[in-house]
Structure 1
Amino acid sequence: MRVIEALTARLPDPWRERVREYLVLMRMDRPVGALLLLWPTWWGLWFAANDFPPIGLLVVFTLGVFVMRAAGCVINDYADHGWLDAHVERTRGRPMAAGRVSRKEAMLLFAGLLAFAFVLVLFTNTLTILLSFGGAALAAFYPFTKRFTHLAQVVLGAAFGWSIPMAFAAVTGEVPPLAWLLFLANVLFSTIYDTQYAMVDRDEDIRVGARSTAILFGDADRTILGVLMATFLVAMLLAGTRASLEWPYFAGLAVAAGLFAWQQWLIRTRDRAACFAAFRNNNVLGCVVWIGLLLALAIR
């Protein structure tokens, strides 16, 4: 929020409050969500390049992460502000739930962000541009899934992971099996951390009528999360083996396994604050895996 206040300090008074509300609507005050999208995108870029990726594509995809995450937050609040966010303690202060941003403003902002993201993808190739339409559709569709399925977190994983096949398409001009293996791994990763996130609001979501994997898993949540964590690690291990990576990558996965164990310890009582801390810890995990990948490619 201090950064947002600094960025808007020189704006004219009539504009300052509106821009501030739009930035908060885009979750620019909470960058952890963007970082959780950034790490798998960087996994895809580094795996695809089998080295440091082209600087132009790195800039395009990194900017795209923040733009598409912002767009996803806007459409998510558009979908949830009345029937869900306004009735949940943690979210009732969001700009749309509190009535500070209108539906029309939100849709115009969403359209503008999608247009900006499309301009970015125009700097890639035809296959990547075609794949981008699938990513935009997933981003727009996800927020409404929690109304009719408990697997909204899986759809979020697909939306967040779509940058991986796009990264391979941009770097190599194709989407090989390795890209889809990493995509599957990210679906697992996203389901893990978004289930932990949903555990924070589980009681209120049940009362309101929202659906999530946290509600679906019930008392078996820790056990199922443990299975998902193990499967994610196996998928990433297979990806590293397929790419013939050096030992730092596998050391990074070992650290990731330790972080998953720490998360299991955190959520053992299912305390709201502890579940949120476990969710945030996945940012460190994603970074550790990327650092291991970076070092493994650097020592070749």
Structure 2
Amino acid sequence: MPDAVPDHFLLRLAPARLRPFVQLARLDRPIGWQLLLLPCWEASALASASLGRPLDLLHLALFFIGAVSMRGAGSTYNDIVDRDIDAKVERTRGRPLASGRASLRAAIVFLVLQCLVGLCVLLSFNGFTIALALASPLIVLIYPFAKRFTSWPQAVLGLAFAYGALLGWTAQAGALAAPAVLLYLAAIFWTIGYDTIYALQDKRDDAIAGVRSTALLFGARVRLAVGALYAASVIAAELAVLTAHLGVAAQIGVLAYAAHLCWQVWRTGPGVEPATALMLFRSNWNAGLLLFAGLAIEALLAA
């Protein structure tokens, strides 16, 4: 696939008959589960720092397993729904279902297995977190269809991908609070911004296929729009830190996160090359890690 990590070790090690499933789960494109994981880790660190507890390493490990499995499940479901559209888009026509390298029945079985792994992870948390998490699949089910009726499918993705910001907090606190909600908002704006950059790769093909996106909606003003979204994310993250009554380390994390997002905006534009758009999109792993690092250090100092 064009946006896969070149010569990814899983594709090299997997038997030929399993490679389509590695691609269905996007395991050769780890940025997906990384971006799903970061709000979970950030919220867990935020809760630890606010409650004066050390980082919960078990929770961080569980969120990692859950992010990989549920990102894979979401991607498999997305490919099932979009298999006809994918066949019309240059970047996606080589996907396993669109190209016929995997059957629909096998993809459905694989989807169920990944969901079962995610369910096992979820059942490791407290009752409130379990109940809260059960609402998120509704958003995931809607997402593949959003591009058909709205120019804001990135916002639907944001609601889903940012959801871990709520779960990371409640897994420790057992209830929602203002810092978690504000971090959720920060992650939503961040997701819309970086997925708009990602969608710049497909503007021509999306227009031909009748697929909508914020990249097409913003057009020549895409740099301004992404800048506004990223600014809203930074403001919400700062408010989350302030309402959690955190200190200097967390503030440095927010500043480093803001600086990285500013660099992305500077490199973004309506004429950006697909390779540059993909590079900027992938760089959000580093942006999110900077924020997480600040919150994690704050938790270590507060424990």
Q: How many Å separate the matches in 1 of 2:179 and 2:257?
A: 20
The one-letter amino acid paired with 2:281 is: F
Provide the C-alpha distance between the structure 1 equivalents of 2:168 and 2:295, rounded to a whole number of angstroms.
16
What's the counterpart of residue 170 of structure 2? Answer: 169
Is 1:114–1:136's contact at 8 Å kept on the other side of the alignment?
Answer: no
Contact 1:44/1:168 (CA < 8 Å) preserved in 2?
A: yes
Equivalent residue letter for 1:133:
L
Aligned match of 1:80 in 63, 75, 82? 82
Q: In angstroms, what is the RMSD of aligned CA positions?
A: 1.6
Q: Give the C-alpha shift of residue 7 in structure 1.
A: 4.0
Q: Structure 1 residues 260, 57: CA separation in 2 closer, same or farther (over 3 Å shift)?
A: closer
8 Å CA contact 2:182, 2:240 repeated in 1: yes
Structure 2: gaps spanning 5 or more residues: 1-6
Q: Which moved more, 1:231-240 or 1:270-279?
A: 270-279
Deviations 1:134-168 (A, max 9, x none): 12222222112111111111111111111222222
Match of 2:193 in 1: 192
CA distance in 1, matches of 2:155, 2:68: 21
Q: Which residue of 2 aligns with 1:38?
A: 37
Q: Which residue identity lines up with residue 169 of structure 2 in the other structure?
A: F
Q: Give the TM-score normalised by structure 1.
A: 0.92
Corresponding residue for 1:255?
Answer: 256
Question: Could you tell me the percent identity over the aligned residues?
Answer: 35
Answer yes or no: is the 8 Å Cα contact 1:135–1:163 preserved in 2: no
- Structure 1 distance, partners of 2:54, 2:17, is 40
Q: Equivalent of 2:10, from 4, 27, 50?
A: 4
2:280 maps to which residue? 278
Residue of structure 2 equivalent to 1:222: 223
Give SS of 1:97's match: helix
Q: CA deviation at 1:6?
A: 5.2
| 1:187-213, Cα deviation, whole Å (9 max, x unpaired) | 101001100001110111011001111
Matched, 1:61 2:81: no
SS at match of 1:299: helix
Answering whether residue 93 of structure 2 is matched by residue 96 of structure 1, we say: no
The CA distance in 1 between the partners of 2:161 and 2:137, in whole Å, is 11
Contact 2:257/2:291 (8 A) holds in 1:
yes
Contact 1:53 1:171 in 2 (8 A): no
**Alignment coverage as a number of residue pairs:** 292
Tell me how far apart the structure 2 counterparts of residues 170 and 67 of structure 1 sit (CA, whole Å).
Answer: 18
- TM-score normalised per structure 2: 0.91
Distance 1:293 1:211, change over 3 A: same
In structure 2, C-alpha distance between the alignment counterparts of 1:295 and 1:144, rounded to whole Å: 40
Alpha-carbon distance in 2 for matches of 1:2, 1:280: 15
Contact 2:179 2:239 (8 Å CA) reproduced: no
State the partner residue of 2:295. 293
Q: Deviations over 1:115-142 (max 9, x none)?
A: 2211111111221221222122222221
CA contact (8 A) 2:40 2:167 kept: no
Inter-partner Cα distance in structure 1 for 2:26 and 2:54: 29
Structure showing greater relative contact order (alpha-carbon pairs closer than 8 Å, 6 or more residues apart)? 2
Aligned residue identity for 2:276: A
Q: 1:54 to 1:212 in 2, by over 3 A?
A: same
Letter of the 2:283 counterpart: N
For the 8 Å contact 2:89–2:206, the answer to whether it is kept is: yes
Instruction: Judge conservation of contact 2:42–2:168 (CA < 8 Å) in 1.
Output: no
**Counterpart amino acid of 1:32?**
I
Partners of 2:140 and 2:160 within 8 A in 1: yes
Secondary structure of the equivalent of 1:46?
A: helix
Change (3 A) 1:174 1:205: same
